Amino acid sequence: MNALADELNKTLGGTVVERLLSDMGRRMYFPKGIITQSAEASARASRYNATVGMSTEGGVPMILDAVRDSLPGLSPTEAVAYAPTGGVLALRKRWKQEMARKNPSLAGKDYSLPVVVPGLTAAISYIADLFLEPGDTVVVPDLHWPNYRLIVEERKMAAGLVYPIFTAAGGFNVPELEAKLREAGSRRGKAACILNFPNNPTGYSPTLAEAEAIVAALKRVADEGTDLLVVCDDAYFGLQYEEGLLHESLFGRLAALHPNILAVKADGPTKEDYVWGFRTGFVTFAAKGLGEERYDALAKKLFGVVRSSVSSSSAPAQYIFLKALDSPGYEEQKARFRAILAERYRQARDFLARTKLPACLKPLPFNSGYFMSFECPGISAEALRLKLLDEKGIGVISMQDRYLRVAFSSVEADQIADLYTEILRAAQSLVDAGR
C-alpha cells in the first residue's frame, strides 16, 4: 500500500470511517505529484511557473476568441483553466455556507468542507468507490433511481436489499427500512443505505414525524453495534410542496447522531438551481466526533478517486454557479421557478383527487420533487407507456412493468389535466382490451 494511503488510514484509525472503507477506499490517497507541486508553484513561483500543462500568454491561459465570446462573464482562468481536483475552494466554502443556511439542524454540528464532483451520479459512484466492495449490502426502497442498481450491483458487485417504500397506510416504511438494515448488518457488522428525498420516482418526502422515526431507527441499529453508511441523496433538495414535511436534509439530523454512523450528503445545483447540464455536485461527510483532521484525511481519499477518474470537474460550470450564488435576485429567481413547479404539482394532485380513476391506475403518495408514479395493477405499465407514446404522442416512463412515472415538472400547469386525462383513457382502453 502506498505510504500516503497508509498515513491517511492511520489518521482515520479507530473511527467508523476506517471500519466502513472498502479495499479501494483504504488504498486511495491524493498524490504529492504534479497537482500538489503545481499548487505550490502557483503560490510561490515568483519568476516562472513551468509546472501545469496549460498554455499561457501574458500570465493567463490562452483562450480562443470563439470561446471567450461565448463566456463573456468569465476571465480566461475561470473559462478554460483546470479547476483544483477537489473543486474551486471559494465555491466549496460558499456551498457549505448555503448548506448551513438551508439546513437549520446543522447548527452547532461538525461536518466536512464539501468536495466538488462531476454531478450527482459521480457523487453516488465515488461514495461507492470509497465504501463498497463485493459482498457488501446497500439498502434502498423498492422504488428508487435505477442508476443505484447499476452503480451498486454492477460497478461495485455489492448487493442491493430492497424494502417496500410505503406502508399499507401510505406512509414511509420506517419499520421495513430498519429491518433490512438490521438484516444487512448481521452479515458483516456493517450496512449502507441511500435515503433519497424527494424520492425519484415517487416524488415523496417524509413528514416531520417520519423523519424523526427514520433517525430513531438508524440510531437503534447503530446502538446494536452495526456500522452504518447513510447516504443522503438530496438531488431534489428543497422542492417540497406541502406543510408538515421535512424541508431540509436528513443529513443535519444524522451529522452528530452516533459514532457508528457516517452520514454522507450528495447534492448540488442540478435540480434545485436548474442547471442540469453543469454536471456539478458535492459530497460532504459527517460523523460524531470525527474532527477536522479526519475530515481532511477522508477528503484526500475522495480527491484520489476524483484524480484517478476525471482529474477535476468543469471549471467554467463552477465559476458560473459561484457567481450566480452571489448575484442580485438569485433567491427571487429560484423562488419563481419553484412556484411554477409547485403549481404543476397542485394541478396534478387536485386532478387526481377529484377524478374517478380506473382500478388499473393507483397513484402512489407524492408531495414534492419532479415526479409522481402510478402503480398499474392488472395491466402492463410498458404497454401503457407505448400506447401513450405511439397513439397520443405522450412520453412517460415505465418501471418494472408495474409502475408508470410521470414528470409533472416538464408539463405546463394548464396542460396537466389533459395529460392525466389521456393517461386515464389509455389505461382504461388496455383494460377493455384485456392487456
**What CATH number corresponds to the domain at position 212?**
3.40.640.10
Share of the chain above pLDDT 90, in %: 91
pLDDT of residue 258: 97
> pLDDT tens for residues 256-272?
999 999 999 999 999 99
Is residue 199 in some structural domain? yes
Please say if the pLDDT value at position 296 is more than 80.
yes
> pLDDT tens for residues 313-347?
999 999 999 999 999 999 999 999 999 999 999 99
Kindly state whether residues 119 and 260 are assigned to the same domain: yes
User: Among residues 2, 11, 54, which one has the least CA distance to residue 32?
Assistant: 2
> pLDDT tens for residues 197-214?
999 999 999 999 999 999
Please say if the pLDDT value at position 357 is more than 90.
yes
Domain count, the chain: 3
Please say if the pLDDT value at position 435 is more than 80.
no
Please say if the pLDDT value at position 43 is more than 70.
no
Kindly state whether residues 37 and 90 are assigned to the same domain: no
Kindly state whether residues 339 and 280 are assigned to the same domain: no
Edge-to-edge strand order for the sheet containing 397-399?
362-363, 371-375, 403-407, 397-399
Please say if the pLDDT value at position 76 is more than 90.
yes
C-alpha cell at 223: 446502538
Q: What distances in angstroms separate CA 112 from CA 102, 222, 255, 287, 295, one per listed residue?
A: 16, 21, 10, 9, 6
The one-letter amino acid at 134: P
Is residue 77 in some structural domain? no
C-alpha cell at 46: 515568483
The last residue of one of the domains, among 325, 349, 373, is 325
CB 284 within 8 A of CB 111: yes
The last residue of one of the domains, among 325, 350, 372, is 325
Kindly state whether residues 293 and 403 are assigned to the same domain: no
pLDDT of residue 51: 72
User: Among residues 333, 426, 434, which one has the least CA distance to residue 378?
Assistant: 434
Q: What is the mean pLDDT of residues 67-85?
A: 93
β-bridge partners, 111: none
Kindly state whether residues 334 and 318 are assigned to the same domain: no
Is residue 80 in some structural domain? no
Please say if the pLDDT value at position 48 is more than 90.
no
Kindly state whether residues 90 and 184 are assigned to the same domain: yes
Please say if the pLDDT value at position 302 is more than 70.
yes
Is residue 320 in some structural domain? yes
Is residue 78 in some structural domain? no
pLDDT of residue 41: 61
β-bridge partners, 117: 281
Kindly state whether residues 269 and 319 are assigned to the same domain: yes
User: Among residues 251, 305, 292, which one has the least CA distance to residue 12?
Assistant: 292
Kindly state whether residues 208 and 186 are assigned to the same domain: yes
β-bridge partners, 231: 194, 264
Please say if the pLDDT value at position 110 is more than 90.
yes
pLDDT of residue 52: 72
The one-letter amino acid at 354: R
Burial annotation 72-108 (CB, 10 A radius, 16+ → b, else e): eebebbbbbbbbbbbbbeebbebbbebbeebbebbee
**CA distance linking residue 417 with residue 352, whole number of Å:** 9
The whole-model pTM stands at 0.94
Is residue 302 in some structural domain? yes
Share of the chain above pLDDT 70, in %: 96
β-bridge partners, 207: 245
pLDDT of residue 355: 96
- Across the chain, mean pLDDT equals 94
Angle made by CA atoms 313, 131, 150, in degrees to the nearest 5: 70
CB 237 within 8 A of CB 243: no
End-to-end Cα, the chain, rounded Å: 58
Residue 230 banded pLDDT, cuts 50, 70, 90: very high
Please say if the pLDDT value at position 24 is more than 90.
yes
Sequence-ordered list of residues with C-beta below 8 angstroms from that of 427, at least 6 positions apart, any chain: 358, 360, 361, 376, 379, 384
Kindly state whether residues 106 and 229 are assigned to the same domain: yes
Q: Domain range for residue 142? A: 3-30+85-325
pLDDT of residue 297: 97
The last residue of one of the domains, among 268, 293, 325, is 325
**CA distance linking residue 385 with residue 401, whole number of Å:** 10
C-alpha cell at 136: 457488501
Please say if the pLDDT value at position 50 is more than 80.
no
C-alpha cell at 310: 476525471
Kindly state whether residues 292 and 406 are assigned to the same domain: no
pLDDT of residue 39: 67
Is residue 391 in some structural domain? yes
User: Among residues 236, 209, 194, 172, which one has the least CA distance to residue 365?
Assistant: 172
Residue 33 banded pLDDT, cuts 50, 70, 90: low
Residue 267, helix vs strand vs coil: strand
pLDDT of residue 433: 83
Please say if the pLDDT value at position 58 is more than 90.
no
Is residue 314 in some structural domain? yes
Please say if the pLDDT value at position 34 is more than 80.
no
Kindly state whether residues 184 and 306 are assigned to the same domain: yes
8-state DSSP, 364: P
Where helices occur in 52-119 by DSSP H, the ranges are 65-68, 76-80, 89-102
Kindly state whether residues 244 and 274 are assigned to the same domain: yes
